[in-house]
Amino acid sequence: MTAGAWARASIRRFLLVLLLPGLVAVTASELWLSWRTATDAADAAYDRSLLGAVKSIDSSISTASGGLGVELPYRMLEFFELTAQGQVFYRVATEDGLVEIGSTDLPAPKRKLVTGVPQFHEAEYFGQAVRVGSYARELSPPLAGQSGTQRVVIQVAETMEVRNEFRRALVLQSLARDVLLMLAATGSLALAITWAMRPLDRLREEVAARDPQDLTPMNDAGAPAEVQPLVQAINHHVARHREQTEARRRFIDDASHQLRTPLTTLATQVSYAQRETDPGAVRETLDTIREQLDETIRQTNQMLSLARADSAPPQHQEFDAVDLAESLMRKWWRTAREHGVDLGLDVPGQPLPVRGDAGLLAEALSNLLHNAIRHGGAGCHVTLMVRAEPDASVVISVTDDGPGLPADELPRAGERFFRGRSNAVPGSGLGLAIVRTVAERHGGQMRVSAGVAGRGLAVVLHLPAR
């Protein structure tokens, strides 16, 4: 399956496919352990019986006659043979092999026998698998003619049919138990996964049932910890969509609020010009229409700038704030001179890097300079200042010594369409609103206060460090 197919696959199916091989591996390991346990249990039980037969033969060994004598316990061997349900073989011999009684060709022990310690091993005898128990002890007294210690080796072997049947029975029981456990575990796993996925199902149902116009945040109180980041991401996306929708609604409201009156006035003036026969009056009316058109164009551009500042996130690129201020001075110097305004620049002697949207900031500062020049009037002083703060933030301000705003109106500066009561110059009241929106889009803030010595107006943009 490709990566794309895995990504589109059901989480339930993915978890089951991922976990089932693990369950199968655990079951296989359990079966192997069960086989080992069954083997050890069978060997422990049957080897104990095998050792009993060895001990019975050992108790019947005698060297009193000078030779090796064995009085075989035939009843015990017959009983053992019936218990083993197979053939039984025995061998009694001296360690050097000079004297041997019974099945002399029984397989020898695989390791050297330790006196008094039984040893068991599996071998093949006449084409049959047998289990051989071997035991060695010292003969007392040794055989005639033997000097020093002498050991006798007793071996008893049984065929493996019953022992293997016992092993198979234990393994089959374990297999049945493990299969049942695996089926139960798989069912429990499927139920657990289904139960764990219920929050996602509820989330899907909640999103599907929502009205297209419903942009309220989703409640993540009952969501599991793993689902909460998803809900928060959805809420973040909804919040951005709500902001864009609100920005579009504000733009429509602003446009209808601002353009209705100027367009109505223009229509009235055009009708008046069409009825007027005096060329001088027509010329005067056309000049008025031209002024009204210029103001309407400026208001429209301001509303477009405000809509852009509201909806479009700033394109964060690094630029020089000093270079930006100098370019604005070159742009507005002629306008200031035509209005009789003294336009000044106060910037540091070295570049001051800022990260943000240079176009938006230039639009905001142009609105400040336009307002200061227009409202300050002839003889006014306007200063554009750029400076760096100790915390690496940047402050850009426009200060004038014009009429300014009354102290009680300063807190409202920056509201949309707000104009001071003493302001006689036509305007839309959007200039400071654009500046405040641009500052907030850059993570900063705008402050409005009285100018130097309480005269005029000072608008300060405080932009955070890069």
* CA 273/CA 286 separation, integer angstroms: 7
Query: Residue 146's pLDDT is what?
Result: 72
| pLDDT, tens only, 106-122 | 898 988 999 989 999 99
Q: What is the pLDDT of residue 83?
A: 56
Burial class from Cβ neighbours inside 10 Å (0-12, 13-18, 19+) for residue 70 reads middle
In the chain, the N- to C-terminal Cα span, in Å, equals 46
**pLDDT grade for 7, boundaries at 50, 70 and 90:** very low
Interaxial angle between packed helices 11-59 and 161-196, expressed in degrees from 0 to 180 and rounded to the nearest 10: 160
Ordered structural domains, the chain, with CATH = 12-168 (3.30.450), 208-312 (no CATH), 317-418+426-463 (3.30.565.10)
User: pLDDT tens digits for 184-208?
Assistant: 887 887 788 778 777 777 777 877 8
Q: Which pLDDT belongs to residue 255?
A: 63
Number of other CB atoms surrounding residue 92 within 10 Å: 24
DSSP secondary-structure letter at 60? Answer: T
User: Which residues touch 282 (CB under 8 Å, ≥6 apart)?
Assistant: 273, 276
Give Cα 266 to chain centroid, integer Å.
59
pTM comes to 0.45
Closest CA relative to residue 324, chosen from 375, 401, 398: 398
How many C-beta atoms surround the C-beta of residue 372 within 10 A? Answer: 29
What count of residues does the chain have? Answer: 466
DSSP conformation letters of 287-305: HHHHHHHHHHHHHHHHHHH
C-alpha closest to that of 340 among 303, 374, 381, 378? 378
SS3 of 75-94: HHHHHHHHHHCCCEEEEEEE
Over residues 279-305, the mean pLDDT reads: 74
Average pLDDT over residues 402-407: 80
Predicted confidence (pLDDT) per residue in 348-362, tens digit: 988 888 888 888 888
pLDDT digits (tens, 9 = 90+) for 98-154: 888 888 888 989 889 999 899 999 999 888 888 899 999 888 777 766 777 888 899
- Arithmetic mean of pLDDT, 11-17: 70
pLDDT of residue 63: 75
Query: How many Å is the maximal CA-CA distance in the chain?
Result: 167
The mean-pLDDT minimum among 54-58, 69-73, 363-367, 446-450 falls in 69-73
